[in-house]
Structure 1
Amino acid sequence: MLLFLALLMMLVSGCGGSNVGKVSYPDGKIAWAAHSALSGVPKELHDGVQAKAAADGIEFEAQNAGDNANLQLDQVNKMVDDKAMAIVLLAMNGDSIIPAVERANAAGIPVIATNRDVNGGVFTNVINDEKQAGQIQGAYMAAHLPQNAKVVYLSGDMSISAAQLRWEGFKEALLDKRPDVQLLAKTSTGDWTYANGVKNMTLWMQLFPQIDGVASGNDNMAMGALQAMKAAGRYNPSMIFCGIDAGADALESIASDGGMTLTVKQDADSIVDAIYAVIGEIRKGNAPEPGDKLVPMVEITKANVAKYK
């Protein structure tokens, strides 16, 4: 009896994974599962893929989880039940979503992850090269900071791989190559907000009489730090402020010599193209290769900012 049960479990397990690497519904709809209400880069990605789908006459269904991981799990499971062609996933929680990804795998429904971490199951991960973003910031500072400069780093939420990779790239390109440059402080926790930049810079100005450069995991925090320095009378034009995202405020600051020096653009258009190229293969019945598809970032300074405003 025990042997029979063991064999039965093996058969069930084998059937559950039998459609990994297959495309069961190439004529189905594109299902978009977002972690939250659409804004910023996630909205650009959604709108771009939706527009391409509409042009090709492909049904497109979008759900957002409102920052609720359990709701997103239910939403993705329903997408599997509805036999979507493919699921584009911006995960609210990279761990809790794994069972739904595995259900999609078993059903032969390819999963395309983007913008957010997914920590299990089989999927194609279409993302910007986050480490390159930090390398761009670090390389610029390495080339332009004076000897024995002192810098601070605003990291954002370090539980997210993008924050970790941006920091690693920055460290490699600046601190590992310019040992004369001193890192005064680095945040290890916190959100990605303007207020977080203001808060940390207000503290750091009390601790450090010299700050020559500020690198940030996004533009919001960099802009907050810049404003804090200006309000305290500590800003001078020789300082370097580097962010990521190419937000409208950061671009305006760069263009008008308002204090921001550099930002790095997450190339949403290229990510959309890459996602839709994967979908194109799925429509032909070709299962996408799992793993990362890295999309290069774009450096924006005073020299080229007019192109991106």
Structure 2
Amino acid sequence: MHQAKHSHRRLLKSATALTAGLLLLTACGSSGDSDASDSSKPKPKSDSAGKLVAIITPSPDNPFFKAEAETARKKAKSLGYTTSVASHDDDPNKQSELIDAALSRKAAAIVLDNAGADASIGPVRKATKAGVPVFLIDREINKTGIAKAQIVSNNAQGAQLAAQEFVKGMKGKGSYVELTGKESDTNAGVRSKGYADVISQYPDMKRVSRQTANWDQQEAYTKMETVLQRYPKLKGVIAGNDTMAVGAVAALKSAKRTGVVVVGLDGSPDAIAQIKAGTMRATALQPAALGAQRAVEQADKFIRTGKTGQPEKQAIDCELVTKANADEFGLFARR
């Protein structure tokens, strides 16, 4: 009996020592975790595996939008997310429906190239209030503080680059037409102003017509047909994007007009091909792939930490593409 008591005491001591050792190991294991000891810091969120990133852009018929959607999809998948890719076709109602669908699917984040600077404010605010962060690419909205990021090309800088090359091609004189984008798109106004800031310094350059072609190639073609009939001595065309510039080139070819200086903005593969062929003078490449990639990276960081580490408004500079350097560029990026 006495021996049994001693054995019992030894077991109790061993158990106590084991418990103390486990507690010590646990304490040592958590001592390096700053979030565990500082409640003021944002707590990391759960892993990305299986979480949905909804990617919504204008029509992929435009290679720019296709490139940014595909880049965003690939980047999100590489980080472990599932993705959905959809187009609002520049229809604010369809955009609202797609955002509602993303919310119903409990998306972890939305990457959005929006359908209007004003029309998109409500849907972005709705998503934010529902706890789904929105990361805007390419186009800004007329409101700050509701999207987590607005990542756009430096449209003013890009337009000025393109306009400087346009002036050079026109030798500082002659009549020209400007084709502008959608009036609801902030970029259209910013680019037009960037063009004017440069060209207005050359009084011998005369803008004889300013036509809205809504970023569309066929509409640009049709508008240019009319312009060419009215202004047979036209010397230049400066377009708010490459899609419209390519439409203008087609109209010039159809009218058998040569020697007209055509400049666009975007850096699309079609425009670069025209530049190499000598039918376009230049474009300013806006890095669609880089903007989309940054949006997904910042979405991932926000999902994990509650912060992006970046200001909301972010601009990426454009690069001038001419015949001299056209081979250096690929799909909306330098090779």
Query: Which TM class, normalised by the smaller chain length?
Result: 0.7 to 0.9
Shift of the 57–185 alpha-carbon distance from structure 1 to 2, 3 Å rule, reads: same
User: Bigger shift: 30-39 or 192-201?
Assistant: 30-39
User: Match of 2:318, as an amino acid?
Assistant: M
TM alignment of 1:41-56, pairs within 5 A: 41-56=64-79
Unpaired runs of 5+ in structure 1? 1-21
Letter matched to residue 228 of structure 2:
M
SS of equivalent to 2:265: coil
Q: Give the counterpart of 1:125 among 133, 150, 156.
A: 150
For the structure 1 residues 52 and 198, does the alpha-carbon distance in structure 2 shift closer, same or farther, using more than 3 Å as the test? closer
Query: Does the 8 Å contact 1:24/1:85 carry over to 2?
Result: no
Aligned length: 283
- Root-mean-square deviation (CA, aligned residues, Å) is 2.7
One-letter code of the match for 1:291?
E
Counterpart amino acid of 2:307?
A
* Whole-Å separation in 2 of the counterparts to 1:128 and 1:122: 20
Alignment of 1:93-172 (within 5 A): 93-120=116-143, 122-123=146-147, 124-172=149-197
AA in 1 matched with 2:107: A
Counterpart contact for 2:44–2:304, Cα < 8 Å: no
What is the alpha-carbon distance in structure 1 between the residues aligned to residue 79 and residue 127 of structure 2? 24
1:272 aligned partner: 292
**Whole-angstrom CA distance in 2 between matches of 1:114 and 1:200:** 29
Q: Deviations over 1:199-256 (max 9, x none)?
A: 22222223324222210112232223223233333322xx321012333332222112
Looking at structure 2, the residues matched to 67 and 24 of structure 1 have their Cα atoms a distance apart, in angstroms, of 36
The verdict on how the C-alpha distance between 1:165 and 1:24 changes in structure 2, with shifts beyond 3 A counting, is: farther
Provide closer, same or farther for how the CA distance between residues 181 and 94 of structure 1 changes in structure 2, counting only shifts above 3 A. Answer: closer
**Secondary structure at 2:115's aligned position in 1?**
coil
Show the counterpart of 1:284: 304
Which residue pairs with 1:6 in the alignment?
A: none
Q: 1 CA distance for matches of 2:91 and 2:180?
A: 24
**What one-letter code is carried by the residue in structure 1 that aligns with 2:225?**
T
- CA separation of 1:277 and 1:57: change in aligned 2, threshold 3 A: closer
SS across alignment from 2:218:
helix
Percent identity (aligned): 24
CA distance in structure 2 between the partners assigned to 1:38 and 1:212 by the alignment:
32
TM-score between the two structures when normalised by the length of structure 1: 0.79
Moved more, 74-83 or 220-229: 74-83
Q: Aligned in 2, Cα 1:23/1:269: closer, same or farther, shift over 3 Å? A: farther
Asked if 2 retains the 8 angstrom alpha-carbon contact of 1:152 and 1:185, the reply is: yes
Q: Give 2:202's aligned residue.
A: 178
Change (3 A) 1:156 1:23: farther
1:202 and 2:232 equivalent?
A: no
Q: Which one of 40, 64, 75 corresponds to residue 98 of structure 2?
A: 75
State the SS of the aligned residue for 1:226.
Answer: helix
> Is residue 2:92 matched to residue 1:92?
no
Instruction: Tell me the secondary structure at the aligned position of residue 243 of structure 1.
Output: strand
Could you tell me how far apart the structure 2 residues matched to 1:24 and 1:76 are? Answer: 25
Q: 1:38 aligns with which of 46, 52, 60?
A: 60
Q: Does 1:244 align with 2:265?
A: yes
Deviation at 1:33, TM superposition (A): 4.1
CA spacing shift, 1:26–1:153, aligned 2, 3 Å: farther
Aligned residues of 1:24 and 1:107 also touching (Cα < 8 A): no
Do the aligned partners of residues 126 and 256 (structure 1) sit closer, same or farther apart at CA in structure 2, a change above 3 Å counting? same
Instruction: Look up the match of 2:30.
Output: none
Aligned to 1:262: 282
How many Å separate the matches in 2 of 1:268 and 1:207?
36
Conserved 8 A contact 1:34-1:92: no
Q: Distance in 1 between matches of 2:132 and 2:187?
A: 26
Are residues 199 and 146 of structure 1, via their aligned partners in 2, closer, same or farther at CA, if it must alter by over 3 Å? Answer: same
CA contact (8 A) 2:138 2:291 kept: no
Alignment partner of 1:158: what SS? coil
TM-score of the superposed pair, with normalisation by structure 2: 0.74
Structure 2 distance, partners of 1:59, 1:305, is: 35
